[in-house]
Amino acid sequence: MRTLHTSRHLTPCLAAICLAAGLAACDVNAVPRRDEAVNAAWSQVLNQYQRRADLIPNLVETVKGYAHQEQQVLVAVTEARAKATQMQLPADFLTNPESFRQFEQNQAALRGALGRLLAVSESYPALKSDQNFLALQSQLEGTENRIAVARRDYIGTVQAYNTTLRTIPGRWVAAVLYPDARIKETFTISEQAQQAPQVKF
């Protein structure tokens, strides 16, 4: 009788141990941990895009000093910057395909306008030798490299997060513990399309 009584007490304990071991094996914290990684990577993307936007006013003013007749190109860069920086990002931005695509298109348009502005400098030897312009161009080039790295890191963290939500056991864990977890958006415009034209000085 004592053995039967003891086994009844052991059964819930064993079940609890098995449950704990099963949850540990499923890595119940994978979803929030990877979600935080995505948010951190996205912050770096935004930081680098902001760095680029901050360089543009000085770049435009420098070019204007030598090539004020290139008004159309200068206005295009200024307008593209305004459109890219004034976009309001909704709270669900990273899971909102429409907003994410619009943001991506705005940044690509700004990059294209910058490429045209840099190409204009080829026609102005004095501008190409201006130390301020050279410094700004160098900073812009460095920023574009940082943007590429930040985008790559973001894509990697989103891939890990989305894979967790789409595969077992992560899918089950998310359904039970994190029902609000949603697939995150990632960049679709190719890195090649993001590349600014190379301008030789």
Q: Is the pLDDT of residue 156 over 60?
A: yes
Q: Is the pLDDT of residue 28 over 60?
A: yes
First to last CA, the chain: 93
On whether residue 18 sits in a domain, the answer given is no
Alpha helices in the chain (DSSP H): 2-26, 30-66, 71-85, 97-120, 125-128, 131-166, 170-177, 191-194
Separation between Cα atoms, residue 162 and residue 41, nearest integer Å: 14
SS3 5: helix
On whether residue 48 sits in a domain, the answer given is yes
Residue 149's domain comprises 29-194
Task: Report the pLDDT value the prediction gives residue 200, as an integer from 0 to 100.
Answer: 41
Mean pLDDT of 149-168: 97
Confidence of residue 35 (pLDDT cuts 50, 70, 90): very high
Q: Is the pLDDT of residue 178 over 90?
A: yes
Q: Is the pLDDT of residue 53 over 90?
A: yes
On whether residue 19 sits in a domain, the answer given is no
- Angle between helical axes of 30-66 and 71-85 (0-180°, round to 10): 160
Mean pLDDT of 46-60: 97
On whether residue 47 sits in a domain, the answer given is yes
**pTM assigned to the model:** 0.82
Separation between Cα atoms, residue 186 and residue 108, nearest integer Å: 14
Confidence of residue 27 (pLDDT cuts 50, 70, 90): confident
Task: Report the pLDDT value the prediction gives residue 68, as an integer from 0 to 100.
Answer: 85
Q: Which of 111, 103, 100, 107 is nearest to 158 (CA)?
A: 100
Task: Report the pLDDT value the prediction gives residue 165, as an integer from 0 to 100.
Answer: 97
Domain of residue 61, CATH code = 1.20.1440.20
CB contact set of 197 (below 8 Å; sequence gap of 6+) = 115, 118, 119
Q: Is the pLDDT of residue 191 over 70?
A: no
Confidence of residue 1 (pLDDT cuts 50, 70, 90): very low
pLDDT digits (tens, 9 = 90+) for 3-17: 545 555 556 655 555
Domain count, the chain: 1
pLDDT digits (tens, 9 = 90+) for 108-132: 999 999 999 999 988 999 998 999 9
On whether residue 21 sits in a domain, the answer given is no
On whether residue 24 sits in a domain, the answer given is no
On whether residue 13 sits in a domain, the answer given is no
Q: Is the pLDDT of residue 21 over 50?
A: no
On whether residue 5 sits in a domain, the answer given is no
